[in-house]
């Protein structure tokens, strides 16, 4: 398919979290490489031909330099695909945002979302991501699950009502940084969106989070479609299934991506795929370029296939037929 | 603990799957011990003072000998707590029951459920369990998730309508015997019950299945309460979190049970707890008696505690306070 | 490469556990399909062109019909690649074989191994497999690890001494049927072989067991090479990493096989690869044929590659270079 | 418990990593609380009565202020239990220390170890810890396992030879920060120590790392004893088994600790137990005090038990007997 996207005539709609082309930290090492400024990050992202957009995180640093962000967007021609509320990098959110036991923090979580929604609009984007990684708990006997979930849903609802023209999309993840996150699986994410009950509330499926949660990402796409066409955004990366390793797309899994892309197409997903990875020891730009190259190559495999032939196999419910299809797609054998 | 009048006037409502007091198999060894008849199984169950009931599985063997079952119930004084539809021990269900691609099998799955509901009524019981372990898939590209889920929900709905006075309760499990089961987590179980939309449809929480699905069982109780008071039955056992090991209750975990029991009490669960384990190498009766003894001892810990004090700690959202509470409960330190 | 193997002029040395082409059971369903006799199993195995051999398990059934096995070998031209001691299908081994606390059973475990070694020789094969799945424990506080490991090592040593011309090869697996097996990882398998200290004692690497144990199978090959060229046999299948699902080869993973085959070649492994799977719901023959087709197709990928180019990349220690190599191998991009 | 003379004449030998009583970071949030200086950390550690020592990490910051460390030791009366080489907080080690493909970094890894050994001696301590978290790999096709393991073993051996009076102890961990670490399980740790073949080389067992690696920590103690009395040090914390959550001791598991402590005692371990946790959202001092209180309370359970009675149960190899023992120990029932 060919779509005209801003200044780029792209076959694919691939984006990246801006920070991913730069250095990153883990809990042991504060910096595996020297930090880069906003301009340098934009230039690095723009140097990857397959990318047409960037996703931003509304950190204090970014919020303090919106004019620069606009200049970088103009000079690179990159589009803002989504802006994520920063509910996770600041110590104040350590014990939760929308579900905090402190009413002032719950208020602040809503306000930060509204502010991010306004910023998104200002940057020409109608998609805001909420990743409530700090909303959850670590210990047994540490939480009143009922009242905290109530606060969480109420806060998201209030934020959604701020501007119905902005899609507010919730990213689920089993765990990390909490050992237990409230919005943890595709099932609880759907339940929450139904409870929020606002038309502009949807779900981000992060491919790696789905694997971490012992989901088959293709099936999760089907579930989001079945329960109200709730899929609003896709994050993509790879991991070994037991942790959110945030690795280069395609570096571990192969067939799961093909089935995932087939179901995205089959259910009519026409949004972006945003590369979301942590290249601790690699050059960020090069690692992101790798992900984009894998994405394109894996989608090419599907482009060459006949989707109705795939659907026919899905309906046989036959492991051997599934295996034959997979081998033909991947190895042409 | 004080029991009066045989096993019936009890402080606790503990049951066991009848077969659990007998021998069991795995995929390598067809029989770790000699089989036992229905009468012998009932006698063994009745010999455990803490048990007041049994859960049955409506296998062809049991269906063929209902009169004997009635005599055993009468002679032992045990109550039938639930009857499970046999959607899993027969080869015909190997590729699915309600979600089979074969319409005749989908019909048969509904019929088997109706037959089991009738049997339950005949045995003085108003709870039927559906464990759809064969409904799911193993391979990538093996299933059309949308149409199979549709069939599944429609079949359960039709079965529920057979007799609104019988509770039909769905048991979720991440995997096994399929590598991927459709009713896999507390979230998707709730979504399914909402889709079925019949007042007599509920959810069984199997403590070990919750652990296998990376859930905290206490939090799953809260979710089932929050989304419509859906908890209809509890199965109990233990495992090491990565497989449904079906071990003696309390032999691995301790604190998780205490939090789980607290939330059962807090949300007003007044049903039974049914021991559901596979004592491959142990004497079945002795292993079940162990589980009952642990259950009683762990519930005694909570009986001695002040529930409002526990609730107060839950509302602090504080890991250190949670740890202090846990240690006080478990070790009185 | 082309090697002459018995009556077959084969490019590859692929075998299968004879029973794999027939039906199988799990702990819920005693038979997903009707049983097949020895002759039928041989005919089905022989119908798969890519197979040159079979691996047998010395069950009482097989031991009682050795003459028939010989006739089947002669009529099909299949070679016996290994014979596995049956330390796992009989109830008597339920609490352990070489490590049983019962001296008579420890003696029987050695005797069964000797008998299997003799049978192997009689069938023209010099490889015997020990899979000590029942040697381990399930519960905390259930075992005296020190004395049981001592018994285990002594028993294997005694068995090895029975005939130094027969390779006795130990298969490690993290768990199942016990929740904890003694010979659980590549590391403890190597330690055990070193303790046994007999030249005819080696290790079987089951690809799926390595994944289950959170190993990278290619690295495990390197370890077995490094610590004394201990790799004697390879079992192959696929799984989702958290259980020994015993699925069709290549149906889940792709790149891991390529790296695994590269390391087998690099370390000079010239033995067989034995398909070892449990096709519960598939026709056994067809599922095994699929595995063989995948194996051949994946090895073809490596045949077309330049091994020195792969080794050059391994020495860069660079994630981006690794990703590029993987994509080129798999998708020629 | 009875302590006399400040923290030194103690029934228990409990220590803590000095930094644990202060704030910590994760990959999202650079600081959950304000940093604390060395003096403040020592004061906080000393305020916990059950602690008699500290473990240090020889970071550039610490190495630059050894005189202050000495003053703090003198003023608090705390003993230095071990000093860990800093092979993990600096970007230069990002691609490995002893196993780096850069010969200058391999040299630097040895030099840093020697320097840390000298520092340990200067601080009155004869135990140095090597945690090679950066030595491993992330991607498939990323490493030449053979040559890197060779370099690793050679580097450790050379470091050991620097001062035979200092114990050099290797800490194994399955993964993190790499997705695959070379010294990953108790088995490979033992193999490595045997390869290094220096009398002053041993193994640190981190209880949480053992759980992460799907080990039963008690069995790992037995293995370390069996293969040469290699256990030199113990780190202690808790987690949910699938990640190194570094939580408060006893906050998740109970029975595993009791079996672990029994095997430490049975195999004659007389070293320290060092609390090693990451209290992201808790006050560090309070979280460490909790761990010490749990340790003491759990050890008290064993102090009240008869070890020969425990050993008698271990030798029954009986799941039901194990369960009874566990319940009696934990709940006196």
**D97 has pLDDT over 60:** yes
Q: Do residues A228 and A273 make contact, with C-beta atoms less than 8 angstroms apart?
A: no
Mean pLDDT of C46-53: 98
Rounded Cα gap, residues A276 and A289, in angstroms: 12
Contacting chains of D (3 CB pairs or more, <8 Å) are A, B, C
Q: Give A238-289 pLDDT, tens digit per residue.
A: 999 999 999 999 999 999 999 999 999 999 999 999 999 999 999 999 999 9
Residue of A nearest to D244 (CA): A179
How confident is the model at residue C11, as a pLDDT?
A: 78
pLDDT band (50, 70, 90) for residue B11: confident
Rounded Cα gap, residues B141 and C251, in angstroms: 10
In a domain, A148, yes or no: yes
**C226: chain D residues, CB-CB within 8 Å:** 145-146, 149
Q: Give A298-315 pLDDT, tens digit per residue.
A: 999 999 999 999 999 999
Please count the residue pairs, one from chain A and one from chain D, whose beta carbons lie less than 8 angstroms apart. 91
Alpha carbon separation from C48 to C41, C43, C284, C291 (Å, rounded):
12, 9, 11, 10
Q: Give B23-71 pLDDT, tens digit per residue.
A: 999 999 999 999 999 999 999 999 999 999 999 999 999 999 999 999 9
Q: Give D29-38 pLDDT, tens digit per residue.
A: 999 999 999 9
Q: Give D115-139 pLDDT, tens digit per residue.
A: 999 999 999 999 999 999 999 999 9
Question: Cβ of D319 and B294 within 8 Å?
Answer: no
Question: Cβ of A248 and C286 within 8 Å?
Answer: no
Residue with tokens 């085959």: C261
Residue of D nearest to C309 (CA): D141
Q: Do residues D176 and D134 make contact, with C-beta atoms less than 8 angstroms apart?
A: no
Rounded Cα gap, residues B262 and B268, in angstroms: 10
How confident is the model at residue A11, as a pLDDT?
A: 78
**D215 has pLDDT over 60:** yes
Q: What is the pTM of this model?
A: 0.97
In a domain, C108, yes or no: yes
How confident is the model at residue B1, as a pLDDT?
A: 34
How confident is the model at residue C10, as a pLDDT?
A: 60
Mean pLDDT of A59-75: 97
Question: Cβ of A330 and C241 within 8 Å?
Answer: no
Mean pLDDT of B321-330: 98
- Taking the CA of residue D217 and the nearest CA in chain A, the distance in Å comes to 21
In a domain, B213, yes or no: yes
Percent of chain B, pLDDT > 90?
Answer: 97
Q: What ipTM, to 2 d.p.?
A: 0.96
**B6 has pLDDT over 80:** no
Mean pLDDT of D175-193: 98
Rounded Cα gap, residues A166 and A126, in angstroms: 5
pLDDT band (50, 70, 90) for residue D4: very low
How many domains would you assign to chain C? 1
**B9 has pLDDT over 90:** no
In a domain, C327, yes or no: no
End-to-end CA distance of chain B: 24
Report the half-sphere exposure of A117 (CA within 13 A, side-chain side): 22
Nearest to D29 among A32, A91, A251 (CB): A91
Residue with tokens 């091994």: C307
Count Cβ atoms within 10 A of the Cβ of residue B67 and give its class: 0-12 exposed, 13-18 middle, 19 or more buried. Answer: exposed
**B28: chain C residues, CB-CB within 8 Å:** 88-89, 133, 177
Question: Cβ of D310 and C141 within 8 Å?
Answer: yes
Q: Give B227-263 pLDDT, tens digit per residue.
A: 999 999 999 999 999 999 999 999 999 999 999 999 9
- Taking the CA of residue C320 and the nearest CA in chain A, the distance in Å comes to 6
How confident is the model at residue B10, as a pLDDT?
A: 61
Domain that holds residue A15: 3-304
Rounded Cα gap, residues C196 and C164, in angstroms: 13
Question: Cβ of C141 and D326 within 8 Å?
Answer: yes
- Taking the CA of residue A327 and the nearest CA in chain D, the distance in Å comes to 20
In a domain, D5, yes or no: no
In a domain, D324, yes or no: no
Instruction: Suggest the residue from D281, D282, D283, D291 to mutate for an interface test with chain A (most A CBs closer than 10 A).
Output: D281
**A3 has pLDDT over 60:** no
In a domain, A161, yes or no: yes
Rounded Cα gap, residues B103 and B97, in angstroms: 10
How confident is the model at residue C34, as a pLDDT?
A: 95
CATH number of the domain enclosing A7: 3.20.20.150
Rounded Cα gap, residues D184 and D132, in angstroms: 10
- Cis peptide bond prior to A177, omega within 30° of 0: yes
Count of other CB atoms within 10 angstroms of residue A308: 7
Nearest to B255 among D252, D287, D301 (CB): D252
How confident is the model at residue C45, as a pLDDT?
A: 98
Nearest to C180 among D142, D187, D216 (CB): D216
**C32 has pLDDT over 70:** yes
Residue of D nearest to B300 (CA): D331
Average pLDDT of chain D, as a whole number: 96
Rounded Cα gap, residues C279 and C44, in angstroms: 14
In a domain, C286, yes or no: yes
């Amino acid at each position: 398919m060919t779509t005209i996207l801003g200044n780029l005539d792209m076959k694919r709609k691939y984006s990246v979290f801006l920070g991913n082309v730069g250095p990153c930290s883990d809990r042991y090492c504060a910096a595996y490489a020297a930090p880069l400024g906003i301009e340098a990050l934009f230039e690095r992202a723009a140097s990857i031909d397959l990318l047409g957009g960037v996703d931003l995180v509304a950190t204090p640093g970014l919020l303090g330099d919106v004019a620069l962000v606009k200049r970088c967007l103009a000079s690179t021609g990159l589009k803002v695909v989504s802006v994520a509320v920063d509910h996770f990098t600041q110590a104040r959110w350590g014990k939760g945002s929308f579900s905090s036991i402190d009413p002032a923090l719950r208020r602040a979580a809503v306000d930060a979302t509204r502010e991010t929604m306004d910023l998104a609009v200002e940057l020409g984007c109608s998609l805001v991501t909420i990743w409530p990684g700090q909303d959850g708990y670590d210990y047994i006997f540490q939480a009143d699950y009922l009242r905290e979930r109530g606060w969480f849903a109420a806060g998201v609802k209030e934020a959604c009502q701020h501007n119905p023209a902005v899609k507010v999309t919730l990213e689920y993840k089993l765990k990390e940084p909490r050992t237990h996150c409230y919005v943890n699986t595709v099932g609880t994410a759907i339940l929450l969106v139904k409870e929020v009950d606002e038309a502009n509330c949807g779900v981000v499926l992060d491919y790696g989070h789905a694997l971490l949660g012992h989901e088959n990402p293709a099936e999760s796409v089907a579930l989001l479609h079945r329960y109200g066409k709730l899929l609003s955004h896709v994050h993509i990366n790879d991991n070994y299934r037991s942790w959110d390793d945030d690795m280069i797309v395609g570096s571990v899994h192969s067939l799961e991506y093909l089935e995932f892309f087939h179901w995205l197409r089959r259910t009519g997903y026409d949004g972006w795929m945003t590369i979301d990875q942590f290249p601790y020891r690699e050059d960020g730009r090069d690692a992101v370029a790798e992900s984009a190259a894998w994405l394109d190559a894996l989608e090419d495999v599907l482009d060459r296939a006949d989707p109705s032939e795939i659907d026919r196999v899905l309906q046989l419910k036959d492991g051997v037929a599934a295996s034959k299809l997979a081998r033909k797609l991947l190895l042409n054998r």
